[in-house]
């Protein structure tokens, strides 16, 4: 038999096949980036401390959430929407106000010795508190710190925290400024062990 020349394969429909696959991957791809509130847990305690460091009542911003998702801030019932503003007032503080946290001289990079508030936010929830409520409260507290820092960074260095954060990898000055802001307003959210109700 004489060898016949093989006919050329029609590649016209290749595009269609490729399109089909493309659409499949387009549909299955989820581009969502995982987002969330990043927190740091305190290291485990080996044994109970003999003398826990004494913290004065005026330095503590007490936030309690009960099993019915009610919020009690410094002994007063409050809505979540008001928590941020209240927490900001406390974090910034007022050196002249007796009920506000004490101030202490602290070494801050770039700025030297400065008065820094001894504020601490204490959050305690019940085992029956809903996770949603807990996240809301956490969010407002973190938000309060972020806003206070943001305002300070703008006023002191004329830059947003975002700019400082982005620049910190490459520029030493930005890194120092970021450190300074964090030193002036350290994020101190302490979570008490939740109460065991009905156990």
Partner 1 sequence: MSKFKKKKSGGIPAVNTAALPDIVFMLLFFFMVTTVMREVTLKVKVVTPQATEVNKLERKSLVSYIYIGEPTDQLQSKFGTADRIQLNDAFATKKDIIAFVEGEREQTDPAEVPLMTFSIKADQKAEMGIVTDVKQELRKANALKINYSTKKTDKIID
Q: How far is the CB of 192 from partner 1 (least distance, A)?
A: 11
Selected binder of partner 1 within 10, 30, 169, 170 (CB under 8 A): 30
Please tell me whether residue 122 adopts helix, strand or coil conformation. Answer: strand
- Tell which one of 58, 118, 136, 156 touches partner 1 (CB under 8 A): 136
**Least distance between partner 1 and beta carbon 27 (Å):** 10
SS3 22: helix
**Site map (CB under 8 A) of partner 1, residues 36-75, x = contact:** xxxxxxxxx-------------------------------
Taking the complex as a whole, the smallest distance from the CB of residue 23 to partner 1 amounts, in Å, to 9
DSSP annotation string for 149-193: HHHHHHHHHS--HHHHHHHTTT-HHHHHHHHHHHHHS---EEEPP
| Residue carrying the six token digits 């005026």 | 58
For residue 136, CA distances in Å to 117, 121, 146, 177 come to 25, 15, 15, 30
Residues of this chain that interact with partner 1 (CB under 8 A) are 11, 14-15, 18-19, 21-22, 25-26, 28-31, 33-44, 79-81, 125-132, 134-136, 138-140, 142-143, 146, 193-194
């Amino acid at each position: 038999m004489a060898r016949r020349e093989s006919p050329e394969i029609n590649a016209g429909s290749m595009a269609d096949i490729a399109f089909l696959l493309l659409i499949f991957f387009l549909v299955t791809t989820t581009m969502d980036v995982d987002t969330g509130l990043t927190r740091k847990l305190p290291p485990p305690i080996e044994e109970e401390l003999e003398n826990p460091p004494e913290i004065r009542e005026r330095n503590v911003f007490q936030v309690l959430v009960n099993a019915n998702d009610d919020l009690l801030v410094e002994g007063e019932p409050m809505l979540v929407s008001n928590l941020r503003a209240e927490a900001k007032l406390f974090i910034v503080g007022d050196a002249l106000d007796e009920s506000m946290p004490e101030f202490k001289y602290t070494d801050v990079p770039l700025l030297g010795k400065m008065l820094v508030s001894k504020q601490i936010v204490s959050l305690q929830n019940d085992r029956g508190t809903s996770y949603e409520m807990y996240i809301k409260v956490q969010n407002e507290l973190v938000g309060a710190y972020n806003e206070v820092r943001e305002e300070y960074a703008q006023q002191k260095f004329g830059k947003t925290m975002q700019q400082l954060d982005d620049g910190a990898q490459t520029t030493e000055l930005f890194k120092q400024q970021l450190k300074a802001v964090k030193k002036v307003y350290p994020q101190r959210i302490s979570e008490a062990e939740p109460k065991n109700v009905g156990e």
